[in-house]
Amino acid sequence: MENDKGLLLVLSGPSGVGKGTVCKALREKMPQLVYSVSATTRAPRVGETNGVNYFFKQKSEFLHMIEQDQLLEWAEYVGNYYGTPRKFVEDTLAEGYDVILEIEVQGALQVKEKFPQGIFLFLAPPDLAELESRIVGRGTETEDSIRNRMEMARHEIELMDKYDYVVVNDEIECACEKIQAIITAEHLKKDRQIHKFRKWLAKGV
């Protein structure tokens, strides 16, 4: 039944806000939560593994996936493409597992158009100065890239009202606890529970 499907959780926010770190910590606390690996055309960073962090694709491969409608969403972000393979997400939800997407804001808004019943979480920085500090601290970005990402971050924060929830990533542990509370509350909503009780009533005492 529809109400027995898993929840699609979409976690996004500005580059450098800590989406990956929060998502990893959340999955350690909730091992039943299934992580949907995104596809991207950007080069792997040190320590990243194909098929674990991302499916790393050539641009031609990615464009083929778009043409074949194999992506739930896709976006071009700071010169690279990112997207979510559709079939894996749909199959996992149908099996009753919750799926979490860790994606950029552009992609999240596409998912909302195609899958409005998803739960959309905006991960926000404590302030812009802290966000810039985190991006610089990566040691992987050029000055031009940092400037572009900060300009994009301001635009993305203005889109916060498109989301269901806002979680400030001040401390990872606190951010995870808030997201766990949101997941629990969403599972307890009457629309996901009432069909079970209607079955009881239909059977009689």
Mean predicted confidence (pLDDT) in 55-67 = 95
Q: For residues 7 and 183, what is the distance between their CA atoms, to the nearest angstrom?
A: 8
pLDDT in tens, 155-179: 999 999 999 999 999 999 999 999 9
pLDDT in tens, 1-17: 445 789 999 999 988 88
**Per-residue CA distances from 33 to 42, 162, 167 (Å):** 26, 24, 18
Running DSSP on this structure, what letter comes out for residue 189? S
Q: For residues 193 and 16, what is the distance between their CA atoms, to the nearest angstrom?
A: 37
Amino acid at position 147, single letter? R
Question: How confident is the model at residue 1, as a pLDDT?
Answer: 42
Q: What percentage of the chain has pLDDT greater than the value 70?
A: 97
Q: How crowded is the C-beta side of 144, counted as CA atoms within 13 Å?
A: 2
Residue of 81, 99, 82 whose CA lies nearest to 90: 99
pLDDT in tens, 89-110: 988 999 999 999 998 898 899 8
Domains and CATH numbers, the chain: 2-203 (3.40.50.300)
Mean predicted confidence (pLDDT) in 80-86 = 90
Tokens of 125: 């920085």
**Per-residue CA distances from 145 to 54, 119, 141 (Å):** 21, 30, 6
3-state secondary structure of 159: coil
Unique residue bearing structure tokens 């005492």: 205
Mean predicted confidence (pLDDT) in 49-67 = 93
pTM beyond cutoff 0.95: no
